[in-house]
Amino acid sequence: MKEADIAKLLQAYKEGALSEAEAVQAIRDVPFEEMKFAEIDHHRELRQGMPEVIYAAGKTPEQVRDIFYSLYTHSAGNLLATRARREHFDKVREKVPEACFDETASLIYLDRERNVKRDEDHQILILSAGTSDIPVAEEARLTAYLFGNTVKTCYDCGVAGIHRLFAHLPEIKAANVIIVIAGMEGALASVVGGLTDKPVIAVPTSVGYGASFHGVAALLSMLNSCAMGVSVVNIDNGFGAGALASKINKLR
């Protein structure tokens, strides 16, 4: 429920189109919904501008379906379920047939704002070091897009062939916020941080051989970056990067 919905509710009560009991019931339903296996935060859209996002990993297909449908019926914004599998999606479509599934990003989503004009002058740019980082990059891209941003991507431009990165300097200069996604030693974040005056969000990935320790090496490299203005999210957390980039982009 958004502020406009609350205003309509109060206006309806004022005009007598809604009884006091009906108004109280509508307001009571705003904070959260008890579903035995989950408490759905229907107030989040009002607080944060986006309905609650479902973390599908560890949930049964039926649980994801029921939570997604509850959010569908109580919200106005885009919907998103992260770390989802095909079986989750098949169940969600039983109740929300217009839902979509991005297998690369492991995301189930509903884009209610596909026809809304986006701000092309304030873009989020996503850079990935290698092709193997694309699943995390796509999670970040789709998250930022569903949060209402214009998103550009440049993939496979890591430091092993740094001339590939320099070919994207125009995109780097044009971006308002930059997400850098890299595994192995995670050096790309520091390089990009030294090329721009815009905020850089670094995402370490679990891509790499044994001594990369499933992303810990990249995480530590990014945390120890000597470039100014580089922040770091958790390993493989494309969603977290996309959400944070959106919040920064909308502060402009």
- CATH number of the domain at 202, please: 3.40.50.1970
Instruction: Walk along the chain (252 residues) and give the pLDDT tens digit of each residue.
Output: 556 667 777 888 888 887 888 777 666 656 666 778 887 887 788 778 888 899 999 999 999 999 999 999 888 889 999 999 999 999 999 999 999 999 999 999 999 887 777 888 889 999 999 999 999 999 999 999 999 999 999 999 999 999 999 999 999 999 999 999 999 999 999 999 999 999 999 999 999 999 999 999 999 999 999 999 899 999 999 999 999 999 999 887
DSSP string covering 133-166: GHHHHHHHHHHHHHTT-EEEEE-S--GGGHHHHH
Q: How high is the pLDDT of residue 46?
A: 75
Looking at the structure, tell me whether residues 229 and 145 fall in a common domain.
yes
Tell me how far apart the alpha carbons of residues 65 and 90 are, in angstroms, rounded to a whole number: 9
Looking at the structure, tell me whether residues 36 and 83 fall in a common domain.
yes
Looking at the structure, tell me whether residues 143 and 209 fall in a common domain.
yes
Q: How high is the pLDDT of residue 165?
A: 93
Looking at the structure, tell me whether residues 82 and 128 fall in a common domain.
no
Structural domain ending residue among the three candidates 77, 110, 143: 110
Q: How high is the pLDDT of residue 39?
A: 79
Residue 175 lies in a domain: yes
Bridge partners, 230 (sequence order): 200
Looking at the structure, tell me whether residues 133 and 219 fall in a common domain.
yes
Residue 164 lies in a domain: yes
Residue 11 lies in a domain: no
DSSP 8-state class, residue 99: -
Looking at the structure, tell me whether residues 136 and 92 fall in a common domain.
no
Residue 100 lies in a domain: yes
Residue 12 lies in a domain: no
Residue 20 lies in a domain: no
Bridge partners, 13 (sequence order): none
Q: Evaluate whether 238 touches 140 at the Cβ level (below 8 Å).
A: yes
Q: How high is the pLDDT of residue 8?
A: 78
Sheet holding 123-128, edge to edge: 150-154, 123-128, 175-182, 200-204, 230-232
Q: How high is the pLDDT of residue 4?
A: 67
Structural domain ending residue among the three candidates 52, 87, 110: 110
Q: What is the residue whose two structure tokens read 């990059």?
A: 137
Which two structure tokens, joined as six digits, stand for 143? 């998250």
Looking at the structure, tell me whether residues 166 and 50 fall in a common domain.
no
Domains of the chain: total: 2
Tell me how far apart the alpha carbons of residues 108 and 4 are, in angstroms, rounded to a whole number: 27
Q: Containing domain of residue 171, as a range?
A: 123-249
Looking at the structure, tell me whether residues 55 and 142 fall in a common domain.
no
Looking at the structure, tell me whether residues 179 and 105 fall in a common domain.
no
Residue 61 lies in a domain: yes
Looking at the structure, tell me whether residues 98 and 204 fall in a common domain.
no
Structural domain ending residue among the three candidates 83, 110, 137: 110
Residue 87 lies in a domain: yes
Indicate the SS3 state at residue 59.
Answer: coil
**Strand 39-40 with 54-55, pairing:** unpaired
Looking at the structure, tell me whether residues 37 and 80 fall in a common domain.
yes
Looking at the structure, tell me whether residues 138 and 162 fall in a common domain.
yes
